[in-house]
Each structure stands twice: as C-alpha cells, then as structure tokens.
Amino acid sequence: MSEQASRTVIPPKDETTLAKRSLGVPALVFLIIAASAPLTVLAGGATTSFAVTGEMGVPVGYVALGIILVFFALGYGRMSTFIQNAGAFYAYVTAGLGTRQGIGAAFLALVTYNAMQVGLYGVFGFTASSILNDLAAVEVPWWVCALAAWLIIAVLGVNKLDFSVKVLAVIVIAEFVVVIGVSLLSFGVAPEGITVEPFMPEHWLTGSLGALLAFGIAAFMGFESGAIYSEEAKNPERSVAKATYIAVGLIALFYAFSSWAFAMGVGPSAIVPQAQEWGPDLMFVFLDQHMPVLIVNLAAVLFLTSILAAMIAFHNAAARYFFSMGRVQVLPRLLGATGAKNGAPVAGSLAQSVLGLVFIIVFAMAGAGSDFGALYPVMTMFPWLTNAAGFGMVLLLCITSIAIMRYFNREPQRHPAFVRTPAPLIAAIGLGIIALLIMFNFDVMIESDGFSALVIVIPAVIAGSGIVGVLWGEYLRRKQPQIYAEVSTADIG
C-alpha cells in the first residue's frame, strides 16, 4: 500500500479521544523537565559519571549531548507542526519509513518508557526507606515505599493531566531552587578557586568522551515527550516545538553549569575520588559540611520528590503509548479507552500501573535474603531497567531522525534545506555512535563485575521489542488488512 508524505497517523474519530487543548508551553516544559529530574541528575547522574569515567569533564558531556539533540530537535519540532499524535515516535516513523517500521517503533517506545518508569521504583524505594530510617528511625522495606509511590502515581494517572502538571510544577520549581542553591554554595566555598579546568581537553579527550556520552544521555531522557502531549496541547503546531527547543537548551546548559559548579565546590582535584567514595550521597555529604542539618534533610526529601516527579512523567508517557496503539487496534482496543469526563487515557494508565506493580512484587521477592541487603533495588532493578531504557531511547531517536529525513525529502519544497537533511543526518550519526558506546560500556553501566549475560540479554530485549513490533505489523498487513490500513492512511492536513 502506498504511503505518501501527505499521510500519517491520526486517531479515528470515535469515543477514544484525549482531553483537548488544555496544555500551554509552560505546562509542556514542566512535563518535559520533570522527566529529566534536575536534582536527580546532579545528585545521582553527575556524581556517577564523575566516579565511573574517572574524569572531571562531565560538564562537556552534557554540552556535547545538547548539541546533538538540538540537531534532532530541529526536525522533531518541525514534524510536530504536521503531525499530532499521542504516540509521537510511532506516528513519525510511520510517516517517514512505513507502517511496519512505525509499529516496531511503537513497541520499542512502549518497552523503553515502561522500563524507565518501573526502574525508578527501585531507587525511589531505597531512598525513601533510607530517609525514613535517618529522620524517624523507622525501618521500612524498600518495596513498601515503592508501593506507596505506585499508589500515588496510579491515582494521578487516571485523572486529568492538568492535575499532574500542577504537582510536577511545584516539584520541578523546588528542584531548580535546590540545584541553584547548591551551585551558588559551591562557588562560595570553592576550595581550589573557580576555574574552567573541567572543560579543558585533557579531561575529556582521553578516550573517556564515549563513556561521558553514554552515561550522560539518561539525563536528557524525556526531552522528546512534548510531542506525546500534542493532542492535549494548545496550538500544538507551535507549542510542542517551542517547548522542545526550550527544554533541550535549558537541560543541556543547566546540567553543564550545575555539574561544573559542583566540581568547583568539592574541588577539581577531589571531585573524582570523592564521587568514587560517596557515589550519589556526595551532594548530601557536601551540604552536610556547609549547611544546617535541616537544609540537608530538606534537600534529601526534595531528591525523593524529584524521583517521584520523573516517575509521574514517564507513567504519563507510557500510558499514552498504550492509548495510541489501542486506539488503532494494533494492541487490544480496550487500551484506547479514555475517561468520559476527564479525557485521561485510563486504560493505558491502568496497564502501566499493573506492570509497575508486577515488577515491584517480583523484585521484592527476588531480593529477599539477597547478599546486597537493602541495596538490592539500586544494584539490580534501577540500573538494569533504566540503562535498558536509555539504550532504547537512543535507538528510537536515531530511527526517528532517519524517518524525519525521509519524510521531509518527499516534498523538499515545503521544508528548509538544513532541517530537511543536514540536521537529522547529523543527529542520526551522533545518536548511532552513542548507541554503540552504550553497548560497549553496558557492563560498567549496570555495575557488573566481569562478564554478565545481562550485558547481552538486556540490550537484546530492547532491540528485540522493535523487531517483534515489525513482525506484528507484517502479521496485521497479511491477516488484518483493515487495521493495517487504518494505521497507514489518514490525512495530516
């Protein structure tokens, strides 16, 4: 069946519709940045990068990734002016590469977003349990704390998105306040003075740049989610692209600045050994040395809410992929059901919640009596699933870049030359390199001592989900052509 450039995926006009046009640019930006979790990145991501790479050039990694993703965002943002669909990657890849490939992208996106959301339950449960023990001397198993977060997210997920946005806005603003405060404190104490040492080539052109990029990409995961809410956005032809550009620039610059400032606060010569000694606790150790206990405890609580905000954002994204695929019957049509009054993707949200519950129970049972003890969820559930998600996201971005290039070049007169080819091509090459770097560094990323079958199994499951999707698309083409045709053909206006 022919798939023209003037065709793409839109929902059938039936009862399965999301709440319309309630999100402006600020709301979209909050949703995007909540997924990126600024405080979690500084306390967890940046310190881990310093520790694992053994280099102080972590800020350069964020800048380099920001540049690559700006090239991606140019085409991605322009695509959002032509296509509005809750399954953004699925719709864009369908438009550019074909229906089977689009369904493959949808399956890959489903696994990716669910893996990230579920993996965060591990670090949330561990962090909440530790905080309760430190502040109230109460010992609570990590999985009990994870279930409490699960309940909050499950309730928010079946309500109108506006409510989640208000919750996320408060959390994100608080995160920025804390990270800015840590940065200002870092410049104030700076034991070795304020220098640009982390940006010098000898700290990132030593073979470590690949590892810096591989570890840093997780900090940006979620920047693409504005397009997922395009059906619920005000003036989506403009607001989605604008929110994406703002988010990419803000995330890259803010993370580069805050990680550089933190290196100044600890000291350029000390940041790597200190990160290797303390890991994600380093920020709180640093605050404890310079601030009252009350401030340190408040920062710890906000670190917890930062993780919660990211989980809410990824839950919303996964729910909308379930919805978009159920709506066109690529998955069971029930998943396309929305709330009669609030327009929330209720069935998709419940499906994601069920998955989260199953994984919490499985890891709770598997961790009983483990040698890792209380660290079990942050040594298994968190690194395994979130790094799998990071790999899946890079693959999605790379494939989407190629799809965007194909889509624009079918009608070159309608699109600027740079956005049509050079920008998505540069993005595809850069993202493809990062995907390879993640594979080569996967043993380190999941903190495996020596060879582990997981180094092969986890990336294979992620890539395999896309292949399964392509095969399912071929099955639909042969056995259920009416569904395949519905996915393949619709006007984009």
6 in any annotated domain: no
Measured between alpha carbons, how far is 129 from 135 in angstroms, rounded to an integer? Answer: 10
Please indicate, yes or no, if residue 9 is contained in any of the structural domains. no
On whether residue 98 sits in a domain, the answer given is: yes
Domain count, the chain: 1
Instruction: List, for residues 213-249, the tens digit of each pLDDT value.
Output: 888 888 888 888 788 787 777 887 788 888 888 888 8
Q: Is position 2 within any domain?
A: no
444, 211 contact by CB (below 8 A): yes
Q: Is residue 15 part of a domain?
A: no
Mean pLDDT (whole number) for 195-202: 93
pTM for the model stands at: 0.88
Tens-digit pLDDT profile for residues 260-314: 999 999 999 999 999 999 888 899 999 999 999 999 999 999 999 999 989 998 9
pLDDT mean over 481-492: 71
Token digits for 345?
Answer: 């993707």
What is the distance between the alpha carbons of residues 396 and 419, in angstroms, rounded to a whole number? 19
Q: Sorting pLDDT into bands at 50, 70 and 90, what band is 145?
A: very high
Residue 210 included in any domain? yes
- The amino acid at residue 51 is A
- Average model confidence (pLDDT) for the chain? 87
Residue 364 falls within a domain, yes or no?
A: yes
Residue 216: per-residue pLDDT: 85
Per-residue 3-state assignment (H helix, E strand, C coil) for the chain: CCCCCCECCCCCCCCCCCCCCCECHHHHHHHHHHHHCHHHHHHHHHHHHHHHHCCCCHHHHHHHHHHHHHHHHHHHHHHHHHCCCCCHHHHHHHHHHCHHHHHHHHHHHHHHHHHHHHHHHHHHHHHHHHHHHHHHCCCCCHHHHHHHHHHHHHHHHCCCHHHHHHHHHHHHHHHHHHHHHHHHHHHHHCCCCCCCHHHCHHHCCCCCHHHHHHHHHHHHCCHHHHHHHHHHECCHHHHHHHHHHHHHHHHHHHHHHHHHHHHHHHCCCCHHHHHHHHHHHHHHHHHHHHCCHHHHHHHHHHHHHHHHHHHHHHHHHHHHHHHHHHHCCCCCHHHHCCCCCCCCCHHHHHHHHHHHHHHHHHHHHHHCCCCCHHHHHHHCHHHHHHHHHHHHHHHHHHHHHHHHHHHHHHCHHHCCHHHHCHHHHHHHHHHHHHHHHHHHCHHHHCCCCCCCCHHHHHHHHHHHHHHHHHHHHHHHHHHCHHHHHHHHCCECC
Domain containing 308 equals 25-488
Domain-located, residue 11: no
Q: 438-463 pLDDT, tens per residue?
A: 888 888 888 777 778 899 999 999 99
Q: In CATH, what number is assigned to the domain containing residue 390?
A: 1.20.1740.10
